[in-house]
Amino acid sequence: MLSEDTHRIRTAGGRRGGTRSRLMARRRRVRRRRAVLAGSVVAVAAAVLLHLYTPWQEDGAALAASRETAGASSAPAAPPPSSGPPEATGSPTASVSPGASGSSAATTEEDGPREEVRVDPESVPASGSGSFAVARADASPRGGGSPYRVEVEKGIGVDPDAAAEEIARILADPRGWSKGGSRSFRQVDDASAGLVIRIGTPTTTDRLCGRYGLDTHGEVNCRGGENVMVNLRRWLLGSPTFDGPVSDYRALIINHEVGHWLGHGHETCPGAGRPAPVMMQQIKGLKGCESNAWPYDRAHRYLGGPSVP
């Protein structure tokens, strides 16, 4: 039998052991609760992070998609596949004669209107070499007809052959002195010409016209004997009193001066609103008439007027 003291010690020890066991069990429960709580916190944090990350990812994908769409819309569309050769693009090229610094050739019934190129008046030389280049003799058909020669003062920027082609078209036009074929002209390049048409600077024109007692004032053209002298200023610039393109005014120059060579004198306006006669000095005013570059209309009727003494 145990003594009272020994019993107390054992009882106290047993109590202490039981208390320790309860404490350890409580600690285990606290640790489990903490673990569960920590796991819950981690789960909640992961859910929050997942929620925050997913919209950002979606927004980023949308942004990238929008950038790709914008790039595609700004890039040029690829042409559809073609089953044949590519078609020509652009408007048709206008026909421009190189005869006078890019100015166009005369308008004829056959050719139709041609593009005009403006010439700066300051660019027209006042004087030149005084020597002439003869155009080659292939601007008009060979054969019968009145032989004429075309010459252009050297160094003035007008191609003699192109000028000869333009003059040939004017002389062959059915509204001109050919009158639908009743008269013909034939360009040559030798001394057989009974008519010589020259284009020269104002100074040269004044000098050559002055041989016939004519004062052209550096501005106008003349005809003396078998020689027609065309002032470069008029050839390139036309006339401020002529309502029409420069190409039409060139036709008026040739028809007027060749008309003198054929024996026609000056005429005046036949009435307000009517075509001005080609033998009228239209550069001095139209007197109510309309600008006209041709001696005949399309029906081959002469567009004349009263003679000027």
Q: What is the mean pLDDT of the chain?
A: 76
Instruction: Dump pLDDT digits (tens) for 263-280.
Output: 999 999 999 999 999 999
Q: Which domains does the chain have, with CATH numbers?
A: 121-284 (3.40.390)
Instruction: Dump pLDDT digits (tens) for 126-153.
Output: 999 999 999 999 888 777 899 999 999 9
pLDDT at 25 over 90: no
Share of the chain above pLDDT 90, in %: 56
Cα–Cα dist 238/196, whole Å: 21
What kind and span of H or E run contains 286?
Answer: none
Strand pairing partners for 195?
148
Instruction: Dump pLDDT digits (tens) for 47-88.
Output: 544 444 444 333 444 434 444 443 443 333 333 333 333 323
Tell me which of 89-103, 230-244, 286-300 is least confident: 89-103
Q: How far is CA 223 from the centre of its chain?
A: 39
What is the reported pLDDT for 126? 96
Average pLDDT over residues 292-309: 96
What is the reported pLDDT for 31? 72
Q: Which of 269, 170, 281 is nearest to 222 (CA)?
A: 281
Average pLDDT over residues 191-200: 97
Its pTM stands at 0.64
Average pLDDT over residues 292-298: 97
In this structure, are strands 222-224 and 227-231 parallel, antiparallel, or unpaired?
Answer: antiparallel
Q: How far is CA 54 from the centre of its chain?
A: 58
pLDDT at 253 over 80: yes
Cα–Cα dist 128/12, whole Å: 145
pLDDT grade, residue 38 (50/70/90)? low
What is the reported pLDDT for 134? 98
